[in-house]
Amino acid sequence: MLTGLKNAFRVKDLRDKILFTIAMLVLYRIGAHVPVPGVPFQGMAGLFPTEGAMGLLTLFSGGALSYVSVFSLGIMPYITSSIILQLLQSVIPSLHELAREGEVGQQKITQYSRYLTLGLSILNAIGYLFLFKSYGISFANADAPEIIFDIMVVGTLVAGSMLIMWIGELITQRGIGNGMSLIIFANIMSGLPQAIFASLDGDVMGTVVTIVAVVVVLVVIPFIVFLERGQRRIPVSYAKRVVGRRVMGGQSTYLPIKVNTAGVVPIIFASALLYFPAQIAVFFPGVNWVMAVANALAQGWINWILNVVLIVFFAYFYTSMVFNPDETADQLKRQGGFIPGVRPGRATAAYIKNVLNKITLPSAVFLALIAIVPSIVFSATGNQLIQSFGGTSVLIMVGVVLDTVDKLEGQLKTYNYDGFFK
C-alpha cells in the first residue's frame, strides 16, 4: 500500500491529480463553514435538531446546514437530478438513445442534469429560507427591506449548490475518482470526530457501546470488501477458425460478472429518495403532520422497510442499466465465443440474465441489512456514533475508497508501476 502511494507521487500527472482532488475537497469543506451573508455564524451551532428529518438533512450536507452556510444544500440536488435522468432513460426512448451514443450523448445528458440541478436548487433554497425563518433566523435589518435579503439568501444557496456540482465534475474530469462520491465521502468523514467525542462523553455504558460499535465496523469492513471484489466467472470458449494461414481461437476464458455490479449506487439512490420528503417538509415548517411524515420516513420501522425495498430495487435497476445481457450475448456470438452447454444468441442472453439475477439478490439483501441494522441498534441505544457512522455510511465510504483505489491503480499500471494490489 505504501509502495503504491510512493509510486503514485513519483508520476507527475498522478501527483497533480491527487493534489488537485485533495485541494477541491478542502475547498468544499471550507465552503461548508462559510455562513450565508447576514447570519451570525457562532449562534447557529446546536440550533437544528440532530434526529429525524433535520438530522438527515444535516448529515447529507456534511454539517453545512447546522451553520446556515453557503453549501447548505449540499450535493443532493445534483444526485436527485441524476436519479431522475437515470429513471427517465428507461421511460423516454430519446434519452435512452442518447445514453447509447457514447461520449457525445453522455455530454448532452450531463447538460440536462445541470439544468435540472439548477431548478431543484432554486426550489430547495426557497424551502430552506422558510425553514430558517421558522427557527427564528432573521436576515433583514433597518437599512433594507426583507425581500432583498430573502433574494440574497436564495441566490447564495443556489450559487453554493452549483459550485458544489462544479467541484464534483472537476474532480471527476481532472482528479482521481468520482467527484460526487468523494464529496459524499467528505461529508461523512467530517462528522466522524464529533460523533466519536459525543458518544464517549457520557456514562460507562455509552463508552462500552462505542467501543463495541467500532469493533463491529472493523469486522464488517472485510466482508464489504469481499462483496465488492467478488465475481461470478462464467466459462467462455472460442471456436477455432482459419484466417489466411493462421488458426485463431480455440482458447478458453471466462466472463467476469461482479457480485455487486451496482456498487454503492443503490445505497446513495435509496438515501436520496428517503431524503426527498425531508426536503419537501422544509416548505411547510409550521405544518405538524408534514414534519411528522418526514420524520417517520427518516427514522423508525417505516424507514427500515423502505430502505430494504429501495436498495433491492435500485440494485436490480442499476445493474440492468450498466450490464446488458443481450449485448453481451451478441458480442460473444460475433467473436465466435460461446458458453459450454448453452446455445449462442437468446439462450446465452437468458443464461447470463439468470446468473445476474441470482447473484444480485443476495448482494442487495446484504447491502440492505448492513444499512438498516445500525439504525435499529441506534434506536435501542441512542449512541451518537452509530447514528452518524452507521451501515449506510460505512458502505458508502468503503465503496468510494475501493473505487478510487481501483482508478488510481489503473493509472499506475499505465506507467508500468505496481498497483496497490499485487
Confidence of residue 224 (pLDDT cuts 50, 70, 90): confident
- The whole-chain average pLDDT of the chain stands at 77
Residue 143 confidence (pLDDT):
63
Confidence of residue 148 (pLDDT cuts 50, 70, 90): confident
Confidence of residue 385 (pLDDT cuts 50, 70, 90): low
Cβ burial of 327 (10 Å; 0-12, 13-18, 19+) is exposed
Residue 360 confidence (pLDDT):
87
**Residue 369, pLDDT above cutoff 80:** yes
Confidence of residue 255 (pLDDT cuts 50, 70, 90): confident
Confidence of residue 241 (pLDDT cuts 50, 70, 90): low
Give the residue extent of every domain in the chain.
Answer: 2-414
Residue 112 confidence (pLDDT):
87
3-class SS string, the chain: CHHHHHHHHHCHHHHHHHHHHHHHHHHHHHHCCCECCCCCCHHHCCCCCCCHHHHHHHHHCCCCHHHCECCCCCCHHHHHHHHHHHHHHCCCHHHHHHHCCCHHHHHHHHHHHHHHHHHHHHHHHHHHHHHHHHCCCCCCECCECHHHHHHHHHHHHHHHHHHHHHHHHHHHHHCCCCHHHHHHHHHHHHCHHHHHHHHHCCCHHHHHHHHHHHHHHHHHHHHHHHHHHCEEEEEEEECCEEECCEEECCCEEEEEEECCCCCCHHHHHHHHHHHHHHHHHCCCCCCHHHHHHHHHHHCCHHHHHHHHHHHHHHHHHHHHHHCCHHHHHHHHHHCCEECCCCCCCHHHHHHHHHHHHHHHHHHHHHHHHHHHHHHHHHHHHCCHHHHHCCHHHHHHHHHHHHHHHHHHHHHHHHCCCCCCCC
> Which is nearest to 14 in space by CA: 418, 416, 415?
415
Contacts with 306 (C-beta within 8 Å, 6 or more apart), sequence order:
270, 274, 297
**Residue 422, pLDDT above cutoff 60:** no
Tens digit of each residue's pLDDT (9 = 90 or more) over 185-212: 888 777 777 777 766 666 666 677 777 7
Tens digit of each residue's pLDDT (9 = 90 or more) over 168-191: 889 988 888 888 888 888 887 777
Residue 301 confidence (pLDDT):
78
Tens digit of each residue's pLDDT (9 = 90 or more) over 85-129: 877 877 788 877 777 777 777 788 888 888 999 998 898 888 878
Q: How far apart are CA 75 and CA 81, in angstroms?
A: 10
Helix axes 288-298, 301-322, angle to 10 degrees: 60
**Residue 382, pLDDT above cutoff 70:** no
26-30, 248-252, 298-302, 353-357: which has the minimum mean pLDDT? 248-252
Which CATH class for the 2-414 domain? mainly alpha
**Residue 41, pLDDT above cutoff 60:** no
Residue 2 confidence (pLDDT):
61
132-136, 201-205, 224-228, 410-414: which has the minimum mean pLDDT? 201-205
When comparing pLDDT for 142 and 159, which is higher? 159
Residue type, 251: Q
**Residue 5, pLDDT above cutoff 70:** no
Contacts with 106 (C-beta within 8 Å, 6 or more apart), sequence order:
98, 99
Phi/psi for 111 (5° steps) reads: -65, -40
**Residue 39, pLDDT above cutoff 60:** yes
37-46, 74-83, 246-255, 329-338: which has the minimum mean pLDDT? 37-46
Q: How far apart are CA 405 and CA 403, in angstroms?
A: 6
